[in-house]
Structure formats: structure tokens, C-alpha cells
Structure 1
């Protein structure tokens, strides 16, 4: 039983090299489930790209990428707080993000010469120092080693470059130091880099690792299959089958992230319409699965089980036990059992 990620390694790595060549100051991001590839794989690929710094999401991921062989610096993106402990502050090759004045004071007390990046508050409104706090932050640094300012921008904004410019100007007025940026296009990044007169870094995750969708695919295995008749009750919840056909038992379930989705922004009318239709179908017990069998997405018989899913194939069978079928998964929530490539 397995959910398998197949990688066209040559095509994928060609894409990675292309992004690296077009992005001076690239900082690969490896966090969470490693965008479906695993943190260990991403750490090795970042080293192959020649990167000397890697960004991770949380402190616990520092050890994971180190055990995978990463030997360069590691930037922890989630801001440090005293509740996190002080171990990473004493690591010479870790750069901690600081986003509050109180946390800055605590870090200085715990490890006076630790390496830090100060995060600025953007229109994201997630973390960061307000513009009127920047001068106080610089005054409070003491012997802390300032590695730069970080500006984490929204992915969609009316004038993202304008916001980056304004925040960069405020930061550099307080202290000239490198800028660490997220979610700028290559053109926006190149423009800003040419204006600021300091070193710049662009942290990239999704566009780097998932920017060549044709180079990857995920498949599930047909574990078993049984004929069913219209009106027959099956599954944990004994739902009646709407048509004659086959129930396919396919590999992959909630443990793999099957049918687990992040909320959608649904910013366009088309996206909202799709969401409305999907919600209506779910309410009637017709949930479309991510599995494609005989050229079409098929409906779940019932919610996925932990490591397998029941899918209805109307009519005569078109697959056999042991066949591999395509399955569409969200890379940032999926956990595959096997990687080929």
C-alpha cells in the first residue's frame, strides 16, 4: 500500500537551477512537510544549488535539516520568543527572527551576541515591529549581531513593490543592514535590489519547489475492488449506492492528507462559483475525490479512512487490483509513502 510521488528529476532540477540563476541572493525555504518532498530532500537539493543559507519555519526543523547533511547557516522564520528556550540562540550558525521589542530584550539577556534578523510589520499583519519601533529596536540591540531586516509581504497587493520600498527606507534609516524579502516577483526584487544599496536576499519556497508541476505527479494504488448494485449499503456509514458499478479501495487516506484542504481565498467569481457548487454537492453527500480513474475524477463512497479511500466507479470495471491511478493532492498538506526519482 502506498501513495507515491514520482519526480522527473532532470526536469525538476533544471527548474531549480533556473530559479537560482535568475534570483541573486536566493534563500531556499524548507519548512513544514517540505512542500511534499520532505525537509531532508529539500536540504540536500539546496546544497546542490550552492546555497549557503537555508530558511526553515520553526526551531525544531533546524535539527532535521542538519541531520540531512545541511552545513550552512539556517534562518528560523517564525519569530523567537522566550517560550522557545535559548538553545538556538547559542548556535553560531542559526539566525533567529525577532518581531517584538520585549523578545529582543529577552534574547539580548539570554545570549548577548546571538545573530538576529528584525522583522518589520507589513500589511500581512502577522508579525513584526511597527515603523515607529525601529529606532528603539536598534538602540536595544547592544552586542546582538544584526544580520538584517526582514519584510514578509502579502502574495497579492495593489502596490507590493511600493510597500517594500517604504518599509525598506524606514528600516535603512534606522540602521543600514541587509534586507531579507518574501513574495516579490523577480522583476520587483531586481528593481528594489538596485535601489537600496545594501545586500538583499529573496526567500523562496513555493515558486522554487513547486514551480514545475509537470515534473511531478502522485499516484495511488488500487488495493481491492468489489462489484456493487444500486441501493446496496456499504462502508462504515452504510450509504446506499446510487448506481451499479464497482467500489475501488485506493491507497491514501487522512494520514496522507487526502481530502484535507487549506481554506481557499476564492477571490474571483469563478472560484466562488466553484466553491458554492462543491459545497452544495458535499451537502448532498456527493464529495468528489482527488482520484482519477478511467479519465475522470470519481466520487467518494464516504469520507476517506486513515490510510485508504473508497471510491465509486459506475458501470463496468476499467482498472485492476495493483494498478496505479493519478491522485491530486495539495503538496503542503500531503504526506506520501514513497518518493520515486
Structure 2
């Protein structure tokens, strides 16, 4: 009895191939919880379609995944002076976002990140002249730029990359490889045409692994079903049941990521209104769960437990049976499954 991730493997891999063909030289990203699949599984998939470089989030992830992928490992988190040393093989490539960082990695393979409009991290234009001497002591794999997902100001992603290419060229720095994130295939093609002597390599995670929403789905197994009447008390806090129905215990709790939600950027009045409505219901202990039964979204009877959730199913709906599975609409990047089933 488990929270299960079901994968339509043929469909999932067909989508991967579509992305691989759109982005020649793609560098798959494998980090965090492995986009819901686990990093070991993604490393295997990347090797299956012939990736020669795998991007990971941290040095700790690189150390854990090195035995599952034989190609190069690109660490996306920039090196910082004084960071805890993590033993990595020579095929590991470190990202660097400062001149000091480059100087601290003598002899290492490095990718220098430039500051984009993300304004997260990256070397500035003013520091480019200082790079000449610094890169002589490292094995420079290229430069990288991490672009924003949305451009509400109407700016052009290709132009932003092109502007940086010109800055690097004017600084007489090597332009053999540029690693990019969050570009469309058409935009990548425009850049490749504009700079034929530079190899552009797209680092892609979400679009590669999660781009076909119909290829995967979660289901939680029903563990117990208890009939209740209006006014009955139940649960840790002994709340009262609001109507006749059934309390259903389903696999999937906070340890799986159920009931946990990352903040979202809201645009427009309707999403904001819905957010206010949800907040109002929450003050009355009314919280919708991610579980569905008979095509209807169910309410949590009480906050989810560590490994299970208790849901309320009213009498006007079909009664679940122990062993049934409920569809769960969960965010892949915050969910940990009990088991993965290929079918």
C-alpha cells in the first residue's frame, strides 16, 4: 500500500527524444529530488539517450550520482571560497561566478557564469578584464548564462545572450562554448546561426523530464475506510465531522510532500481572488487535498500526517474500498514516492 508514481515509459521516452532532437548537444539537468523520478533514474535515462554531460545542482549530488553516470558532471551551484571540500572525480566541472572563484580552482575544469537579468549570481562586465590572468590557471570549459523564465518587459532572450557574447568577444575571451538555460529551440538556432564558431549547449531539466504531463501520474492506495455521522469526533484534534460520510485513510503524507506547497507568483486578479478564497477557507479548517475520487477533488479531514492523509468522502459519492487507488495531482519537484512503476 503506497504512494506510487506511474510512468508511461514509452511515451515519456518519446518526449525525451523530441527534446533531444530539438536541442543538439543537450545537457540534461538532474538535481534535487530528480524531478520526482529520483536522480539515479534520470542519470540512467540520460545515459540511455547518449548524453555526455549531466548537470547536477550541488557537489553533494555530484558525489552521490558519480557511480550512476560515466560522463562529465557539471555542478550548477557556483564554487565559493571556503566551501566544504567534497571529493569528486576529474570529470566534474565546477561553475564559477566570480574572479576569486576562478583563482580558487587552480587546475580544475570550470564554466564561468555571467550575470543575467536573473540577477542571481554571475560575473559582471566590469570584471571581465581580470579574467584573462585567472583563466590561465584553470581548464576553461566555456561560459554560461542562466536566463529568466518570463519576460514581462517584452525583452528578447536572444538579444540578452548576444549582448554577453559581444562583451566576451570585446574582452578577447574564448568563445568556443556557451552553456544556456531557458531558451526555446528556435532561439537557440538563431544564436547558433549568428555565432557559428561557438557551440551552444542547452541545460534542460523541467522541459525534458516533465514536459509531457500525460506520461506520468501519482496514485495513493486506500488503507482504511471508516463510516462517520455528522457530529462524530475524530483525529488527533478531535474535530467534529460536518456531515455523514466516510473517513478515508490514503497513502501519502507530509514525508511524501503531500500538503506542502511552494510559494507561487500570481499574475492577474482571478488567481489572486482564488488565493484569498483558499486562505479564507483554511481559517475554517477547510483545505482541499490533492487527491481525487470519482473525478472530484476531496477535502482533507484534518492536516496530513507524516505518511498518510485522512480525507472526507460524503455519502453522495461512491465509497472507496481498501486497496483502491486515488489519483493525486502533486508537484513532481516536491514529491517523494514510495515506489515507481513503469507501464
Q: Name the counterpart of 1:301.
A: 301
Is this contact kept in 2: 1:113–1:144, CA < 8 A?
yes
Q: Please list the CA deviations of residues 247-279 of structure 1 after superposition, one character each: whole Å capped at 9, or x if unmatched.
A: 000100000000111111112333222222211
Is this contact kept in 2: 1:117–1:148, CA < 8 A?
yes
Q: Name the counterpart of 1:315.
A: 315
Q: Name the counterpart of 1:203.
A: 203
Mapped to 2, the partners of 1:275 and 1:245 lie a distance apart of: 28
Unaligned runs of 5+ in 1: none
Secondary structure of 2:54 counterpart:
strand
1:141 aligns with 2:135: yes
Is this contact kept in 2: 1:176–1:198, CA < 8 A?
no
Mapped to 2, the partners of 1:298 and 1:85 lie a distance apart of: 46
Q: Name the counterpart of 1:99.
A: 97
Offset at 1:339? Answer: 0.2
Is this contact kept in 2: 1:290–1:329, CA < 8 A?
yes
Is this contact kept in 1: 2:103–2:137, CA < 8 A?
no
Count residues in correspondence.
335
Q: Name the counterpart of 2:115.
A: 121
Q: TM-score normalised to the size of structure 1? A: 0.95
* Further displaced range: 167-176 or 154-163: 167-176
Q: Please list the CA deviations of residues 299-326 of structure 1 after superposition, one character each: whole Å capped at 9, or x if unmatched.
A: 0011110000010001155210110110
Offset at 1:202? Answer: 0.3
Cα RMSD (Å) of the superposition? Answer: 1.4
Offset at 1:72? Answer: 0.3
Mapped to 2, the partners of 1:300 and 1:226 lie a distance apart of: 15
Q: Please list the CA deviations of residues 96-131 of structure 1 after superposition, one character each: whole Å capped at 9, or x if unmatched.
A: 001122222222xxxx22100011111111111111
Mapped to 2, the partners of 1:97 and 1:309 lie a distance apart of: 41
Offset at 1:92? Answer: 1.7
Mapped to 1, the partners of 2:281 and 2:132 lie a distance apart of: 55
Q: Name the counterpart of 1:190.
A: 189
Mapped to 1, the partners of 2:138 and 2:185 lie a distance apart of: 32
Q: Name the counterpart of 2:330.
A: 329
Mapped to 2, the partners of 1:217 and 1:322 lie a distance apart of: 18
Secondary structure of 2:333 counterpart:
coil
Q: Name the counterpart of 1:10.
A: 10
1:152 aligns with 2:114: no
1:255 aligns with 2:249: no
1:171 aligns with 2:172: no
Offset at 1:86? Answer: 4.3
Is this contact kept in 1: 2:192–2:199, CA < 8 A?
yes
Q: How does 1:32-43 map to 2 (within 5 A)?
A: 32-43=32-43
Unaligned runs of 5+ in 2: none
Secondary structure of 1:140 counterpart:
helix
Offset at 1:295? Answer: 1.5
Structure 1 ranges of 4+ moved more than 3 A: 85-88
Offset at 1:140? Answer: 1.8
